[in-house]
Chains A and B, each alone.
Chain A
Amino acid sequence: MRIAVAIMILWAVLTGAAFAEETATAIGDPERGQKMFKKCKSCHQLGEGAKHKVGPHLNGIFFRPAATFDDFKYSKGMYAAREAGLVWDIDGLSRFIEDPRKTVPGTKMSFHGLAKEKDRHDLLAFMRIYSDNPQNIPEAAPTAIKVEVELSPEILAIVGDPEYGEYLATECTTCHQSSGDFDGIPGIVGWPQDEFVIAMHAYKLKKRDHPVMQMMAGRLADDEIAALAAYFGDLN
C-alpha cells in the first residue's frame, strides 16, 4: 500500500505534461512489479544505498541518458547507444527490457528479456518509485540490498588460485562463452568477485533454482568457487 501511495505522490509532483500522459497510459501495477524485479536483482540494486553490482544501480534511471555513471564500466554497445541519443524514457526502458540485445546491440547485460508488455509495465511502475527526487523514495524501501545468501566473511575472503580457476573454468566454457557473449546463456566474465561467489553459492545452496547450475555448483568446494571467481573476474 505504501507503494501505491508513493505513486500517487509522484503523480502529484510531476511537472512535464508529456510525461504525465505517458505515465497515465504506460505504467502498471507496482506491487506486481516488485515481484518482477526479482529477475533483475541478481545484477541490479535499487533503493536507498543501492550500489553498482554486475549492472549499475537503477535509482533515478527514468529520463537519464544511457550509460551515464562514470564509476561503472559499460559495454561499447551501451556507450554507442548513448552517443546515438538513447534516453531511458518509458519507451526506451520498455524496449530495452523486452529485448536487451536487439535494443542495444553488444550490450553486456545478459538477460533474455521480458516478452509480456504487462510484465514490463508493472516492473517499470515499480522502478519508477526510485526515480525523481530523493524525498520521493519511500523509507522502508531497499529491495535489492538484501543479499541472496548470507556467506560467512571467511568464505568471501578466500583468495582463489587463478591457475586452478583456469582449469575449472574449462568446464564452464562449454556453455558460458569466454568472450562474455550472450546467446541464450548468461555471460559470466568480468564480474566483481563477491557477486560471482554469492551467485555460485546461491545455486549450490539451491536458493537459485536452475538444475544445470545447481548441479555444476553443487560439487564445487569453497576454494574452487573462489578460484573460478578470480579467473572469470580477470577475463575480459
Chain B
Amino acid sequence: MTLNRRTFIRAGAAVAASLSAPMVLGAGKPRVVVVGGGAGGATAARYIAKGAKGAIDVTLVEPSRTYYTCFFSNLYIGGFRDIGSIAHSYGKLASDYGINVVHDWAIGIDRDAHTVSLAGGDTLAYDRLILSPGIDFVDGAVPGWDITSQNKMPHAYKAGSQTELLKAQIEAMPEGGTFAMVAPPNPYRCPPGPYERVSMVAHLLKQKNPTAKIIVADPKPKFSKMALFQEGWANHYDGMIDWIGSDFGGDAVEVNADEMTVSIDGEVTKVDACNVIPAMKAGKICEMAGITEGNWAPVNGHTMQSRIDENIHVLGDATNQGDMPKSGFSANSQAKVAAMAVRGALTGSKVFPAKFSNTCWSLINTDDGVKVGATYEATDEKIAKVDGFISQTGESGELRKQTYEESVGWYAGITSDMFG
C-alpha cells in the first residue's frame, strides 16, 4: 500500500480529531519500530499496520529474509513436513500492509533519544518500540558446550539450518547408534518442544535405524505433558528411549563436542548425534536495551509494556510476564494486545481489556497428536491463568488423529495471521 500526500494528510487530520490526545500529535505520522520478525514481531507489525490503515509508520527489523518456524520443525525431523513448508517470507507484510521491512540486525537502543541503531549503519527513530527477539542461550549452561560447538552438537532451537543439520546427523548415525539430547531447565521456549522432538527422532529412527537408542539427560524431575509422552513412547517406541531426569543424575551433565561424548552423573557415553538445548534467556538486544531483570524482560500484562521503559513493548519468549508458556501461540496472542495498546496510545483508537490464550499441540507418532491449552487475563501483577485443559491418556485413535489434523489447521491459521 502506498500513501499519496493527500491520504497522508487526511489520516493526520483524523488522528488530530480523535479525542484521547495521542502523544505525538503534530510530529508527523507516529513511528513504530518492531525488532524481530517472528511469532510476536510479525504479528504485531501486521496488526498495527492493518488497524492503523496508514496512520502509523511501521518498520520491521529482521535479519533473515526467510523465517523458519520452530513450530512444526520437529515434524520436519520426523519426516512429516519438508523444510520448505515451514519457511515464510515477509513479502506480503511489505506489499499488502505497507510495512517497511528492513533486513538487518538491531545492535543498539538509545532509550533517551528513542532510536534503534542497525548493524548496517542506519538509525531508526521510534515513538513506540516493540522488541520480540526470541531467545539466546545462557553462556556456560551446559559444561563443555558453547555456541561454537553448535555445528557438532546442534541446538536446533532456532529453526532453519540448525534443524536441517540435526536431522542429517541423525540420519547418518550408524546402525544401532546412540542419539543423546541434553534438555533445558525451566523456563524455556516451548515446554513440550524437546519431548515432541524425542518422539519425532524416535519415529525417524524406528524406520531407518530401529536398533538405535535415544538418551535424554534432563535437569528437571518432570516435564510438560509427561504422562502423555511417556504413554506414547511406551506404545510406539518401546525400549528405545531412556529418559534420565534430575532425580537420576540428569542434571549433572557435561559434553565434549570434539570427542562426541556425553557424561551423565559421571558416566561417559560415546554418542553418534547429540542435540544440546542449553538454558535460555531473552534475545540479547533486550539486555543491550537495559530492560531485563535476570534473564528476562519484565512486562505489564495489560499492554505488554516493559516495566522498565513504557515506550518499549516486549513480546513472546523474551518476556517475564507470568503464567503463559513461551510459545508461538503465546507470542502471537501477546502481539495483538500490544498492537491494540500501541494504536490506542498513538492514534487514540479504542482499547479493550487484554485477553490471552495458548494451545500447544505435539505429535507423538503418525496421527497421534496431543494438546494442552489455557486462557489468561492481565492482572496488575502478572498475566494470570483463567482456565485450561489437557489431552488425556488412553484417548481413542480417532480423537488423536483429529487432534493432529487440528494442529495442521492451526499451523495454517497462525502463519497466515503472522505473515498475511
Residues of chain A having any CB pair with chain B under 8 Å: 112, 163-164, 167-168, 170-171, 173-179, 181-185, 211-212, 214-216, 218-219
Q: Closest approach, in angstroms, between the C-beta of B287 and any C-beta of chain A?
A: 29
Which B residues are CB-close (under 8 A) to A170? Answer: 47, 336
Can you list 26 contacts pairing A with B, beta carbon distance less than 8 Å?
Answer: A167-B350, A170-B47, A171-B357, A174-B332, A174-B413, A174-B414, A175-B406, A175-B413, A176-B413, A177-B413, A177-B417, A178-B416, A183-B408, A183-B409, A184-B406, A184-B412, A185-B406, A185-B409, A211-B371, A212-B371, A215-B357, A215-B374, A215-B387, A215-B389, A216-B375, A219-B355
Known: A174-B332, A184-B407, A218-B387. 7 other contacts (CB 8 A): A167-B350, A168-B355, A174-B329, A178-B417, A185-B413, A211-B371, A215-B387
Whether, in the assembled complex, B410 has its beta carbon less than 8 Å from a beta carbon of chain A, the answer is yes
CA distance A179 to B373 in the complex (A): 24
Whether, in the assembled complex, B340 has its beta carbon less than 8 Å from a beta carbon of chain A, the answer is yes
Q: Closest approach, in angstroms, between the C-beta of B7 and any C-beta of chain A?
A: 21
Among candidates B388, B389, B417, residue contacting A173 with C-beta atoms closer than 8 Å: B417
**Given A174-B329, A184-B407, CB of A215 within 8 Å of CB of B375:** yes
User: Once the chains bind, are A212 and B413 in contact (CB under 8 Å)?
Assistant: no
Q: Which of A167, A177, A181, A218 has the most CB of B within 10 A?
A: A167
Q: Closest approach, in angstroms, between the C-beta of A187 and any C-beta of chain B?
A: 10
CA distance A153 to B409 in the complex (A): 34
Whether, in the assembled complex, B333 has its beta carbon less than 8 Å from a beta carbon of chain A, the answer is yes
A167's nearest neighbour on chain B, judged by CB, is B352
Whether, in the assembled complex, B405 has its beta carbon less than 8 Å from a beta carbon of chain A, the answer is yes
CA distance A211 to B388 in the complex (A): 9
Which A residues are CB-close (under 8 A) to B412? Answer: 177, 181, 183-184
CA distance A168 to B357 in the complex (A): 12
Name B's interface SS: helix
Whether, in the assembled complex, B402 has its beta carbon less than 8 Å from a beta carbon of chain A, the answer is yes
Which B residues are CB-close (under 8 A) to A176? Answer: 413
User: Once the chains bind, are A182 and B387 in contact (CB under 8 Å)?
Assistant: no
Q: Closest approach, in angstroms, between the C-beta of B128 and any C-beta of chain A?
A: 18
CA distance A112 to B409 in the complex (A): 11
B408's nearest neighbour on chain A, judged by CB, is A184
Q: Which of B387-420 contact A (CB under 8 A)?
A: 387-389, 402, 405-414, 416-417
| Cross-chain pair count, CB within 8 angstroms | 84
Q: Which of B350-371 contact A (CB under 8 A)?
A: 350, 352, 355-357, 359, 371
User: Once the chains bind, are B373 and A112 in contact (CB under 8 Å)?
Assistant: no
Which B residues are CB-close (under 8 A) to A173? Answer: 413, 417
Name A's interface SS: loop
- Range of interface residues on B (Cβ < 8 Å): 20 to 34
Whether, in the assembled complex, B386 has its beta carbon less than 8 Å from a beta carbon of chain A, the answer is yes
Q: Closest approach, in angstroms, between the C-beta of A219 and any C-beta of chain B?
A: 6
CA distance A219 to B356 in the complex (A): 11
Which A residues are CB-close (under 8 A) to B388? Answer: 215
Q: Closest approach, in angstroms, between the C-beta of A42 and any C-beta of chain B?
A: 15
Among candidates B355, B371, B386, B416, residue contacting A179 with C-beta atoms closer than 8 Å: B416
User: Once the chains bind, are A184 and B409 in contact (CB under 8 Å)?
Assistant: yes
Q: Which of A112, A174, A179 has the most CB of B within 10 A?
A: A174
User: Once the chains bind, are B352 and A164 in contact (CB under 8 Å)?
Assistant: yes
CA distance A137 to B254 in the complex (A): 75
Which A residues are CB-close (under 8 A) to B406? Answer: 175, 184-185, 212
Which A residues are CB-close (under 8 A) to B375? Answer: 215-216, 218-219
Which B residues are CB-close (under 8 A) to A219? Answer: 355, 375, 386-387
A181's nearest neighbour on chain B, judged by CB, is B412
Which A residues are CB-close (under 8 A) to B411? Answer: 183
Q: Closest approach, in angstroms, between the C-beta of A228 and any C-beta of chain B?
A: 12
Which A residues are CB-close (under 8 A) to B414? Answer: 174-175
CA distance A57 to B94 in the complex (A): 43
Q: Which of B386, B402, B405, B410 has the most CB of A within 10 A?
A: B410
Q: Closest approach, in angstroms, between the C-beta of B14 and any C-beta of chain A?
A: 15
User: Once the chains bind, are A216 and B409 in contact (CB under 8 Å)?
Assistant: no
CA distance A163 to B351 in the complex (A): 10
User: Once the chains bind, are B373 and A215 in contact (CB under 8 Å)?
Assistant: yes
Which A residues are CB-close (under 8 A) to B405? Answer: 112, 184
Which A residues are CB-close (under 8 A) to B417? Answer: 173-174, 177-178
Which B residues are CB-close (under 8 A) to A179? Answer: 416
Which A residues are CB-close (under 8 A) to B352? Answer: 164, 167-168
CA distance A34 to B326 in the complex (A): 45
Which B residues are CB-close (under 8 A) to A167? Answer: 336, 340, 350, 352
Which A residues are CB-close (under 8 A) to B350? Answer: 163-164, 167
